[in-house]
Structures are given as structure tokens and as C-alpha cells.
Amino acid sequence: MLMFIGSPARYVVHGVRSKSLGETAAATSTQRLSLIAGKYVGKDDPVMIVRTQSGLPAVGEVLEPFTFAYTVAGCMRGSHHAPFMPVSVEHAHPARFDGPPRVVALGLQIHDGRLIGPRDLFADPCFDEARHQANLAMDYLRRHGPFEPHRLPIEDLEYTTMPQVEARIADRWEPIGAPAQARGGTPAEAGKI
């Protein structure tokens, strides 16, 4: 299982079901819009709903993974890696290179069939260290500029205009190592785009 979910560009968990309760414990909206629409047409920010308590994990257990700034794809048109930053709703406005990607957690109670809340769960100083880690990681990744590992590998780029740019300059591409004279040029022109 870890081998597959360790490749998030290819595999995702859509939901978790409790064997003992026979009920859904977590559900995600993980579809990539580019795979649905064929091109970038708007936002596709994921949402996850997790049930807690009553035979399921406690709220604190569900939030604990967010004390580390994991690197995810989702910065600047989804084309760059950046750290996940747990923030309050008030701070959920990414600005630096459209990042770092923000994650908020809203806690709701069910009482007499009604939702009570929400409570802003990441508006808590306990997540300050994760936010600090995210800023340090963002500094490190941004210093790579347009190169990997900051930018996603070409096969994982979802929202890029790369196919249009490649088509526009297609007549300027040359095979590596082809003699310039065979292309009708001079040896000095070999290797130029």
C-alpha cells in the first residue's frame, strides 16, 4: 500500500472506510481537473472530510500529520513542488509564487442532526513550527528557480502552456548530434535551437 500511495502523482486515496463500524471515516475530492477537462480551466483545490470520535480517531490524531510541512505539488498553477502550510482561515491567502499551498481545518459538531461550528482548528500556535518549516522549505525550493525538484517533472505538469510553446517553436528543434551541414547550416550552428 505504501509503495502506491508514496507516488501521489499516480495514485490517490479517495476514501477510508472503518471495518469495525462499516461506515465511511474519510472522503476526498482528489480528481485532477486537467484530467477531467483536458486542460486547465480553473481551480481544483481538494477537499477532505474526516469523521472523528465515536469509534474513529480523535480530532488530535487526525490533525497530528499536519505538524510537518510535507512537500506537495500545488504551487504556481500546480506546476511546482512546495510545502503544505497549515493555517487559519484568516491566513489562507497564498501570495508567494501562489504558495506555499495552504491547508485549513474546520471542526464541526453534529448535535440533534444539525452542524454546529465551525471551529478554526489550525488557528492554534501548536502549528507554528509547521508554518516555520513551510517557510524554510519554500525558500529552499524557490532558489531552484524553474528547475526540478522545484518544478514538477514534465510528465506531471498539469496546467502548463508547455505544449503550446513546444508547438510554436517546433521548427527550431534539432536532433542532438546531427551534423550542421546535414541540416543545411554551418558547424558553428550545431546544437543551437
Tell me the pLDDT of the chain (193 aa) as tens digits: 889 988 877 788 889 999 999 999 999 986 555 555 555 555 567 899 999 999 999 999 999 999 999 998 878 877 889 999 999 999 999 888 888 999 999 999 999 999 999 999 999 999 999 999 999 999 999 999 989 989 888 777 655 667 778 889 989 988 887 665 555 555 555 555 5
User: What is the chain written as a DSSP string?
Assistant: -HHHHT-TTT----EEEETTTTEEEEEE----HHHHHSS--S-----EEE--STTS--HHHHHGGGGS--EEEEETTTTEEEE-EE--GGG----BTTBSPEE--EEEEEETTEEEEEEETT-SGGGHHHHHHHHHHHHHHHTTTTSTTTBPPGGG--S--HHHHHHHTGGG---TT--TGGGTS-GGGTT--
pLDDT number for residue 163 = 72
pTM, entire model = 0.77
pLDDT number for residue 32 = 58
pLDDT number for residue 10 = 78
Domain boundaries, the chain: 2-183
